[in-house]
Amino acid sequence: MTTTRTLLVAAGCLGIGAAVIALGRPVQERPAASVLAAGPRVSVAARWRLKVDTIRRGEPLTVALERAGLAPQEAAEALSVASALDPRKVRAGTTITTKVDPDSGASEVVLQLAVDRAVRFTRLFGQPWVEREETLQWTTDTVVVGGVVTSTLTGALADGAQAFPERQRTELAYALADILEYRVDLSRDLQKNDSVRVLVERQTAENGLVRPGDIIAARITVDGKPVETMRFTQGNRPAYFDGDGKAMRAAFLRAPLAFRRISSVFGLRRHPILGTLRRHQGMDYAAAAGTPVRALGNGRVAFAGWKGGYGKTIEIRHTNGFVTRYGHLRAINVRAGQSVSISQTIGQVGSTGLSTAPHLHFEVLVNGVHRDPRVALKNQSGEPLKPAQRRAFEQRKARLFAELENPTPRLAARPMSTRPDGD
């Protein structure tokens, strides 16, 4: 009997071994608990659907959310818990990312409000929405960038600001132009081989994103002569001052267009329509039709209407006997007698009157006499520092311009904006 049992056991083992060989590989061992918990075999394909969309101009946020996959009720419930944003003020172009299940509905909505700020709405099935604001953490150091002018300021910084992505270099050039616009007409005054050096904050996010922060100090040569500017706090507000301690912000801007190039300058030229050589009493700024025209300084509108060959024209009377004239406009946004402030949009570039193409004709009169705008406006400077601030200003200036010439990166733990030395 014992022999028979032994033979049966051996035969059973041989049968099992043959079965394993026939299947090609042994069965993978699995813990019993995992087998019991696994349940019936189902498809593991993801059911969640991710969709990315953007808010269109003039579109309510609820409409954009519905297009992104939310049911109207879901969109309303999500926005009902919003506290980190005003749903009525979310800008066009804002990215929306949604996570939606065909059966259970939406479980997540992300609004990318800025490059470093997002608001995330999440919920579990059957539960209320929960809002969470997310911001990138930044660290800030300072770098020196610059270059030599071959054609434009933008081109010089595009070549010399390798510390920033290409698009950010253009933004840095515009930021510097905004500071200098009371002193320098960067579209005309710069000459080939002029140079620019800028001490600027560099902000770096955890994900590697880099962007420029505040400009701390800058030196630019204009027609071979240095123009310096630095950020300094007088009172409670930081502002920019030149190397002599005078505010960069002055009574007049240097040009009536924020983005511009000059097509002709003060002096003798052949009139494009009349065909005669006559004194051109101002400057022409070539620009696309509809480009906003801004007031060069505070004043009162002395004339707004049609003025012969000038076409639609605005004249503004300022203090100290200055009058500025803006011609060939397509549209006029002010009326005679109205007070205007510096940088206020007063009209749009056009081609009315004796004009061959859209451009702005600009003149400056001082006590009724035409003056070269580049000369007349150059002599207008900002208010000087208060005497009590002079010592602190000189100390900061010496430190910053030494840093500008011999940069040593300084790292700070996330000051999104640093308060400049001053008071």
Q: pLDDT tens for residues 120-136?
A: 999 987 789 999 999 88
The confidence score (pLDDT) of residue 36 equals 37
Distance CA 182, CA 317 (A): 19
Q: Are 285 and 264 in contact (CB under 8 A)?
A: no
Secondary structure letter of residue 281 according to DSSP? -
The confidence score (pLDDT) of residue 274 equals 65
The confidence score (pLDDT) of residue 409 equals 54
Q: Name 316's bridge partners.
A: 301, 324
Distance CA 9, CA 13 (A): 6
DSSP string, 3-71: HHHHHHHHHHHHHHHHHHHHHSSPPPP--HHHHHHH-S--------EEEEEEPPTT--HHHHHHHTT--
The confidence score (pLDDT) of residue 206 equals 83
Q: Are 343 and 325 in contact (CB under 8 A)?
A: no
Task: Quick: pLDDT tens for 244-273.
Answer: 999 999 989 988 988 554 555 566 556 566
Reduced to 3 states (helix: H, G, I; strand: E, B; else coil), residue 225 is strand
Q: Name 292's bridge partners.
A: 348
Distance CA 67, CA 51 (A): 10
Residue 332's alpha-carbon distances to 117, 277, 301, 314, 346, in angstroms, are 39, 30, 11, 7, 6
Low-confidence ranges of the chain (pLDDT < 70): 1-47, 259-280, 408-423
